[in-house]
Amino acid sequence: MPEPAAPHHGTTTTLPPPSANGSASRARTAPIPPGGTVSAPSAILAGPPAPRVSFGPALNRHGAVDGGWWPHSRNALTELPGLIAALGSRPGVRVQRLSVHRDDWDEIPHRLTADAGHVIRVDWFTTIPRHTLSVTTAGKGTIEVLVVPPGTAEGTAVTAMNMAATGRGGAQAADILTASQAQGRLAA
């Protein structure tokens, strides 16, 4: 079993706009779009797809995840800005810090710069549950988000996100993913 990693801190990374092929250039900066959606002026300049999220109305259910997110890839540098924008569009939510499981992501930035230069710290650990992302906010406390793996079948992913947003009790990410996969097999 690997030894728990210390939080990862470092320099600021500004958010690069993706190129037409989805790769990112670190030389240019782009703000996180409000609401997590991007209106593409043309097919050539298409931005990242809108985040696939589902959150409970309270966004702070102690002992349980508060919602689900189904990223399009494992690239944290390109995926996290959409989640930050989606959360930031909720009343009273201002993201300050993200904590992710190191083994779930590639290209984990140390910091992201959001609207008006707001810097969001990104830490990675191996001690937090897999498929979970912890969001520290100003005013709302901590929001726990189920991260549905990017390659998950659509029906299973949607079920998992809905279970995360509406479930009662203290269901953890692994329990929700297992239940949604079983439900998907029954429906097939």
Q: State the Cα–Cα distance between residues 163 and 165, nearest whole angstrom.
A: 6
pLDDT at 158 over 60: yes
Task: Give the residue with greater pLDDT, 7 vs 58.
Answer: 58
Phi-psi sector, 103: left (phi>0), alpha (psi -120 to 50), beta: alpha
Q: Which residue has the higher pLDDT, 45 or 114?
A: 114
Judge whether residue 80 has pLDDT over 80: yes
| C-beta separation of 156 from 176 below 8 A | no
Q: Rounded to a whole number, what is the distance in angstroms from the first to the last CA of the chain?
A: 35
For residues 169 and 162, what is the distance between their CA atoms, to the nearest angstrom? 14
* Bigger pLDDT: 141 vs 60: 141
Query: What separation in angstroms does the CA of 56 have from each of 28, 37, 61, 164?
Result: 35, 20, 9, 8
Per-residue pLDDT tens over the stretch 127-157: 999 999 999 998 778 889 999 999 999 999 9
Q: How much is the average pLDDT of 164-177?
A: 80
Residue 101 pLDDT greater than 80, yes or no: yes
Task: Tell whether the model's pLDDT for residue 102 goes beyond 80.
Answer: yes
